Amino acid sequence: MIPNKFDYHRATSVDEAIRLMAQHGMDAKLLAGGHSLLPAMKLRLNQPGVLVDIGRLAELRYIKKEGDSLVIGAGATHDDIANSDMARSTLSMLSEAANLIGDVQVRNKGTLGGSLAHADPAADWPAVMIAAHANIELRGPNGSRTVSADDFFTGFYMTALAEDEIITAIRIPAPPKGTHSSYQKFMQPASRFAIVGCAASVTKDGGVCQKVSVALTGLSDTAFRASNVEAALTGKKLTKENIAAAAQAAGEGVMAMGDHFASEEYRLHLAKVFAKRALMAAAE
């Protein structure tokens, strides 16, 4: 049951949604898949007076190649991405992560844009998008802009998104030749959210790590790039020992969260374990 009343508008285009959001101001919220917002409204954690539904906009729901980039519309569902060969062949961590989100019912409704905008500290997509060097495209009443995933997540459920802006697309540059990726997570057994998740992408040439991109989620208030792990592995031979040594840097200097599922200490331990697993899988 949703205790508070609200008005509902179904937008027929992104431009109309932006107009409606501007018109209703702080009282309005966008509704995409509803799989974070509706549960929050049931708990009165969120009490918008107006919902602007963008969940049916075909212009936001696509996965395509543009030049060398993979472009995913903000309205693509987790299930759309899980089943996309284009996503899998660009970076397999995209389909791995999509398949690990919640359950099939959640994946059928929840969207990539909704997950990024919500910025749950335990969400999977933020880490994957940082590791993929994704750019997040935003549109508001004053036009469009692009924010890199590295700069998008600013804190606990906080992002660079302005109140009146909509995420329209996520653009992922083609990874260099010889790149493989993996997403590995230790999941909360009931919700399947990440207690700790690690996304890693490794570019290999003759057994040597040319380039590596690693991001962690679940550990602290927001997903982040594990630069120290990247620095420890770049230019090294991709041996088991070197990977294990680099993974030891995961979570170093981070203020970890603790809750009744996993203490700070345990999360920091898991960060190393899952960084190693993701790197091992990506380096195969």
Partner 1 sequence: MATTIQVTVNGKAYSHDVDPRTLLVQYLRDVLGLTGTHVGCDTSNCGACTILVDGKAVKSCTMLAVQADGSEVKTIEGMADNGTLHPLQEGFREEHGLQCGFCTPGMIMTSADLLERNPNPTEHEIREALEGNFCRCTGYHNIVKSVQYAAKKISNQEKVA
Ligand X SMILES: Cc1cc2nc3c(=O)[nH]c(=O)nc-3n(C[C@H](O)[C@H](O)[C@H](O)COP(=O)(O)OP(=O)(O)OC[C@H]3O[C@@H](n4cnc5c(N)ncnc54)[C@H](O)[C@@H]3O)c2cc1C
Quote the least distance from Cβ 57 to partner 1, whole Å. 13
Interatomic CA distance for residues 88 and 38, integer angstroms = 30
- Select from partner 1, ligand X, none the partner in contact with residue 104, using the beta carbon and a kind-dependent cut-off of 5 to 8 Å: partner 1
Nearer to partner 1, 108 or 210 (CB): 108
- Select from ligand X, partner 1, none the partner in contact with residue 8, using the beta carbon and a kind-dependent cut-off of 5 to 8 Å: partner 1
Asked if residue 113 binds ligand X (CB under 6 A), the reply is: yes
Q: DSSP per residue over 134-181, as a string? A: -EEEEEETTEEEEEEHHHHEEETTEES--TT-EEEEEEEPPPPTTEEE
Q: Are 42 and 1 in contact (CB under 8 A)?
A: yes
Asked if residue 135 binds ligand X (CB under 6 A), the reply is: no
Asked if residue 37 binds ligand X (CB under 6 A), the reply is: yes
Asked if residue 181 binds ligand X (CB under 6 A), the reply is: no
- Select from ligand X, partner 1, none the partner in contact with residue 29, using the beta carbon and a kind-dependent cut-off of 5 to 8 Å: ligand X
> In which element (H, E) is residue 71 found?
strand 69-73
Interatomic CA distance for residues 257 and 254, integer angstroms = 9
Quote the least distance from Cβ 183 to ligand X, whole Å. 11
Q: Are 53 and 152 in contact (CB under 8 A)?
A: no
Binding site for ligand X (CB under 6 A): 29-37, 39, 74, 101-102, 106, 110-111, 113-115, 117-118, 120, 123-125, 161, 166-167, 191-193
